[in-house]
Amino acid sequence: MALRVRSKIWIENEKGKLVIGTGRLRILETILELGSMNKAAQKLKQPFRAVWGKIRATEQRCGFKIVERTSEGSKLTKEGLELLWSYTRLRNRCEKYTDNQFEDLFSTENSGKKSDKKGNS
């Protein structure tokens, strides 16, 4: 039986309210791709009102706008792009670290009790 590690990373504000996680990342990526919040909602099979509510909640929790409406549709603000890219980098780094630690601790050649460099098991 092959094992694999799974983890989920999200960012909360000081009150423990979600700012960004995988779902909101998908919303931002899709708005960036399609240039429209309405088209993003359709592609993600979510009601427009739900997508708009998540964007507004994130903006309130961050204290800045992340999406702006234009005559052509919607686009991410500079801060919205920074949030998207920073969260994506954080998530990728955490996944890489977790994968490396999992490989180190659970690989077949390292099976059994293993001590770290400090002698802890």
Cα dihedral across residues 39, 41, 45, 47: positive or negative: negative
Q: Which of 1, 24, 2 is nearest to 11 (CA)?
A: 24
**Residue 29 vs residues 18, 26, 108: alpha-carbon distances, Å:** 17, 5, 38
More confident residue, 49 or 120: 49
- Compute the distance between CA of residue 99 and CA of residue 9 in angstroms, rounded to an integer: 14
pLDDT by residue (tens digit) across 3-49? 889 889 999 999 999 999 999 999 999 999 999 999 999 999 999 99
Rounded distance between C-alpha atoms, residue 114 and residue 76, angstroms: 47
Domain layout of the chain by residue ranges: 17-106
Q: What is the pLDDT of residue 8?
A: 92
What pTM, to 2 d.p., does this model score?
0.83
Measured from the Cβ of residue 2, the count of other Cβ atoms closer than 10 Å reads 4
C-alpha–C-alpha distance, residues 19 and 14, integer Å:
10
Q: What is the pLDDT of residues 83-93, one digit of tens each?
A: 999 999 999 99
Q: Fold for 17-106, please state it.
A: Arc Repressor Mutant, subunit A (1.10.10)
